[in-house]
Amino acid sequence: MITRRTFALSGMALLICRPALATTMRSATPDDPIAIVNAIYRGTIKGYDKERALWLDPRDRRRTLSKALIALWAKADAKTQPGDSGPIDFDVTTNSQGMEVKSFTAKVESRDDKRATIAATLTPKGEWIRHSSDDNTVRYDFIREGGRWVIDDVRSTTDGKAWSLKALLREALKL
């Protein structure tokens, strides 16, 4: 039987725990492609720091990237000469070096049980010159791996010329 006292104590416990629960919910990596992309741009994915590009630190990669992409990036990192920047020297999530995102829209371009592609269209904060409006769209290719959704490639354009994260890493291995 629930008494007023038990009810009040339960309510107080929830109020006390609420900040910790909110932090846990914000830092958890969601398991849905559109939710993962939304979390990247909202800055609510664990390990995301808006002051630096996501995934440049290898420890950040385990949370959201596929094993194949992590392995490819590690091989390309290993070829980097001491003192040089790594094979990826820009923020792939903004397709830039330093652009701040004012707003974004994420939409599902394709999805089945094993693969999904999410397109994030970005609106830059302040003045940011792009030679092609296509440069403001970043596509995330997801796969199901180990029972969860992970990013297997990231694609966009620079000055209208297509690039993909995997292709850039493969190119770095040839150098």
Which pLDDT score is estimated for 160?
A: 87
Which pLDDT score is estimated for 84?
A: 84
Residue type, 4: R
Q: Is 107 helix (H, G, I), strand (E, B) or coil?
A: strand
Domains of the chain (ranges, CATH numbers): 1-29 (no CATH), 31-174 (3.10.450)
β-strand pairing of 148-158 with 161-164: antiparallel
In the chain, % helix, strand, coil (3-state, to 5) comes to: 40, 25, 35
Mean pLDDT confidence for 121-125: 94
Which pLDDT score is estimated for 49?
A: 59
Which pLDDT score is estimated for 51?
A: 61
Which pLDDT score is estimated for 105?
A: 97
Q: For residue 137, which of 124, 123, 156 has the smallest C-alpha distance? A: 156
Each residue of 15-60: pLDDT tens digit? 444 444 343 333 445 789 999 999 999 887 665 555 667 887 788 8
| Residue matched to tokens 């966009």 | 156
Q: For residues 140 and 56, which has the higher predicted lDDT (pLDDT)?
A: 140
When pLDDT is cut at 50, 70 and 90, the band that residue 80 belongs to is confident
Each residue of 126-137: pLDDT tens digit? 888 898 999 999
Q: Residue 112 — φ and ψ, nearest 5°? A: -140, -160
| Residue matched to tokens 């995102």 | 101
Mean pLDDT confidence for 147-173: 96
Q: What is the 3 state secondary structure string of 54-94?
A: CCCCHHHHHHHECHHHHHHHHHHHHCCCCCCCCCCCCECCC
